[in-house]
Structure 1
Amino acid sequence: AGEVIDAAQEAYGGTEAIANLNSVARKSHFTTWATNQSRSPGPPWDENEQMNFAAIDFKQKTFVGKNKGSGNGFDFDGSQIIKGDEGWQISYRAGTVTPLAEPDFDTTSGPFIRVTAPLLVKQLQERRHTSHWLGEVDFNGRPHDVITLVMEVGPALSLYFDQETHLLSRSERVLPPFGQVDYRFTEYETIDGIPFSKSFKLYVNDQPNIYIDYKSTKINAPIDAYASVPDNLQWVEAAPPPPTDVEVQEFKEGVFLVGAGTTYAMFVEMEDHVVAVGGTAGIPERIKALREVVKDKPIKFGVMTHHHNDHVLGVPAYQDEGATVLTVKEHEAVVRAAASDADSLKVQLVEDRYVFDDGNRQLEIIDIGPTPHVKHLLVAWLPEEGVLFEADHFPNPTNGRMQPAQPVTKRLAEAIQQMELDVKLIVGAHSPRVATIDDLRQALALSPVQAAQTSP
């Protein structure tokens, strides 16, 4: 690997130039594809646009990342700043700045380094003794040497260097749970003696995920101005972290919110069985926790809110329980593909609305689609209790501090009004907090802020 690294350093301006490459600032335009996260199942995936600015200073351990754009029913305009042992999360849309509890320069800057070829060569220079030559392969009809790079954080990378130009053409790694991640570096231009790719493409499992078109690149210039926090922002405390161990909340009699971290499911106790709502990660552990309090009733039904790949992970667990899985016809193929055995999976298709009624409790599964996030979205509605379960449409931070309503949240509110649902409590697939209808009203009443920011 040493010979490949030496040749790469020379191709990127020389050993001294790479060693002295201390700061890089790049402005870019991103095109992203919502792979397995689009409004409809299967390709073509939804295409979104965003503007990005990133700057890094290794000596000062400073990193700035700014993103502005929209996609999947969400608008975003914010940045993250790391300055040594300090860090801040900024929402220009909400007009707030939140100190980071544990700023991490290596983790935060890692994605930028992985898409910036000279910075990967700089990493190789510093970690050459841990790098190994994997062999020679043809890529795009040209011979390449492949060597490994283990960065401070994240899975190892395989780097493909063109044997003639010694420039980096490709890198790849396996990133659970997403799979094979493939980075492509194209159209090099020289900036102050160092080649930088003018464009970049990222694929996930051979599907296009991100294309980057770089608009400007500056090296070895101060980045302090970009790392300053605007004076007109409101300082707020960080929301408490969600529980790391699975917790069971019985927030209404026989109605349980079970989960940990950022994934939750609702379990509703009926006369002689349980209906589960939500299919995010960790459903087996959530079922196990539920069994501690509901010991004698089988889970007969599992509701998949929508088709996104992070919301059908629970299908095998419900199948193991012998449950029937509820979904819409348009999502059936995705749900079956997520099952342990697609052919034997019991499926109940929902057309507009499906009602469970055992004489004592009524539970309605309602399709409120289309929304800006998905064309079909199943929510669970308990009319007697006034409880609504939703997924991905109502950001609900653990501290209850509402942000200006996203397009998806506005659509959820419209559906509640159109269907005349007397909602009192809202629980979701990604928060441990039980919200109230007043929380939703507060989010709707807030307007996005045009906060000042330092232009790159």
Structure 2
Amino acid sequence: MKKILTKTALIAMLILLGATWSEGMAQDPRTYLKKSLKAYGKWKDVKTLSYEVSGKRDAGAQGKRYKSGEQQAYSARRAYHLPEKKLYETNLNTFPGGYAFHFATIVQDTLAYNYDIDGTRGGRVYNSAGKAIAENRYKVVNNHIAYFKVKDLQESTDSLIILESNATYKIIRRLNVKATPIADYYFANKTNLLEKVVADQAGQQVELQYSNYSKTAGRLENTEVKVSVNGKTSYEEKVNVTRTNFVFDNSTLEVPKDYKPNKAEGPSKPKEIAKDIYLIERLAGDRNVLFVNMDDYITVIEAPISSELSKQVIQKIREVVPDKPIKYVFTTHFHSDHTGGLRQYAHLGAELMMAAPTQAYVKDLLAAPQPDDFGKSGATAAQFKTITGKYVLQDDNHLIEFYEVPNSHCDGMALAYFPKERLIYQGDLLSVPLDGTLPFAIEVTQDMKTFLDNNGISFKRMIGHHGHNQITPAMLEQIMLKGKGTANAK
């Protein structure tokens, strides 16, 4: 008598073979994805596409104050030639104090270019990148329009399995070559449309949601996108497809003729710009860090980006001053790009010098698990030196004054002033591009000028953390004469 497999045994066999039981039969994931793509309508006929995105994101460590619930607005416009892999994109990001970053990105198959449309943040230069960056920029459409996210999944060479479905979703898991899960894709059973993608990234659950589908010209288009991290909304976007199958304007893929290529340089050797005061330029592209060789110790001014970058800075300091401890490191404000390297100094036992409103973020930064030297040591806290109004650091041969500056960009903003040298170091109060293009006097720059005037602080040289590090009083006056405006003003 022939043995008949029970339903339970058949399911077990299918699982062993990497298949899935669904509605009484195994289903191939890519067969299902073809069905899903069909549900989106006439997308495969789209050759050229433009769409607009507007959104708000949690300001987090880039807002006016930390954990305020503040949100930052941004927008973007993109035009794609899908078969030829061409892209023209403009994006506008705004920050407190009048900062507005208005950039263009161009992609031509394997090349990508990026430039500041108005020149007031990046100057009249352009940056170029190779195939990997070009491909990533081109695929941004996947994160905004669900159809392309499904298409990318269907065409990928990654392994796919259908997990056990529930009453609401059919779930497809994507795995890499080591069979490690990359992400789970949730498709609504009723519509076969993608509703969310869930992934574990660095121990955090990131969820991308597509919603509010509408029908246009025989296509289903999601009009909203939301990203959540560990259940908390990180940003929400409105998506509006404006045109399809138009004649692509190839002239948009040309960098403006008056822009020059950015000749990227690595971090500089420390340069002594005054007695015992050293400048390290072009860290992470356009950042400047100072350190001061005090009588018995070293004081560092600003710790940007990461522990790894701070390790590079510390190595350069040791090349100049090998035998003194780093006692203090001063940071201008809490924004993450200015504080990301503080953990490495805390690992060395340095005191972290900053205004009180900056400390809440930095304490959270220190407590967060990270695989750097500070994290490996098991430490979660450091010593702080608080600047309230004005703080003076002095020995027999050196004098540094630290001032809190009331401003519209970030609570707890402070600057360092060397009165003997008439030298100012400031963070985001004024950023002048490396090529010397003068920006408008945005609100936060006006705040700084008022503070300097009211406190009788004069200078011969101002160093911006970003960009230009030889700002003169004449340059500041010219900026003020340009009048009020934002970076994208004409």
Q: Same fold (TM over 0.5)?
A: yes
1:118 paired residue among 139, 143, 147: 147
What does residue 11 of structure 2 align with? Answer: none
Q: Is the 8 A contact 1:55 1:64 kept in 2?
A: yes
Deviations 1:91-120 (A, max 9, x none): 147598755434753232233332221112
TM score, norm. by length of structure 1: 0.83
The amino acid that maps onto 1:40 is R
Residues 132 and 90 (structure 1 numbering): CA distance in 2 closer, same or farther, change over 3 Å?
A: same
| SS of equivalent to 2:107 | strand
Deviations 1:244-270 (A, max 9, x none): x46422222211223622444321121
The amino acid that maps onto 1:396 is V
CA distance in 2, matches of 1:392, 1:134: 49
What does residue 258 of structure 2 align with? Answer: 235
CA distance in 1, matches of 2:249, 2:320: 54
- Displacement of 1:272: 1.1
Residues 355 and 98 (structure 1 numbering): CA distance in 2 closer, same or farther, change over 3 Å?
A: closer
Residue 25 in structure 1 maps to residue 53 in structure 2: no
- Displacement of 1:123: 1.8
Residues 118 and 217 (structure 1 numbering): CA distance in 2 closer, same or farther, change over 3 Å?
A: farther
What does residue 169 of structure 2 align with? Answer: 143
Give the root-mean-square deviation of aligned CA atoms.
3.6
Q: Is the 8 A contact 1:93 1:449 kept in 2?
A: no
Residue 130 in structure 1 maps to residue 158 in structure 2: yes
1:295 paired residue among 322, 329, 349: 322
What does residue 308 of structure 1 align with? Answer: 335
What does residue 202 of structure 1 align with? Answer: 227
The structure with more radius of gyration: 2
Q: Is the 8 A contact 2:88 2:105 kept in 1?
A: yes
Residue 332 in structure 1 maps to residue 359 in structure 2: yes
CA distance in 2, matches of 1:11, 1:217: 23
CA distance in 2, matches of 1:203, 1:20: 32
What does residue 284 of structure 2 align with? Answer: 261
- Unpaired runs of 5+ in structure 1? none
The amino acid that maps onto 1:170 is K
1:36 paired residue among 54, 61, 72: 61
Residues 16 and 213 (structure 1 numbering): CA distance in 2 closer, same or farther, change over 3 Å?
A: closer
CA distance in 1, matches of 2:67, 2:216: 40
1:4 paired residue among 29, 43, 68: 29
Q: Is the 8 A contact 1:161 1:169 kept in 2?
A: yes
Identity %: 19
2:387 paired residue among 350, 355, 361: 350
1:381 paired residue among 404, 413, 417: 417
Deviations 1:382-441 (A, max 9, x none): 111122112233223332233334333333333222222212222233347443334433
Residues 197 and 417 (structure 1 numbering): CA distance in 2 closer, same or farther, change over 3 Å?
A: same
The amino acid that maps onto 1:306 is H
CA distance in 1, matches of 2:325, 2:428: 27
| SS of equivalent to 1:443 | helix
What does residue 419 of structure 1 align with? Answer: 455
CA distance in 1, matches of 2:487, 2:466: 28
CA distance in 1, matches of 2:104, 2:435: 21
Residue 107 in structure 1 maps to residue 150 in structure 2: no
Q: Is the 8 A contact 1:265 1:276 kept in 2?
A: yes
- Displacement of 1:189: 1.4
Residues 274 and 400 (structure 1 numbering): CA distance in 2 closer, same or farther, change over 3 Å?
A: same
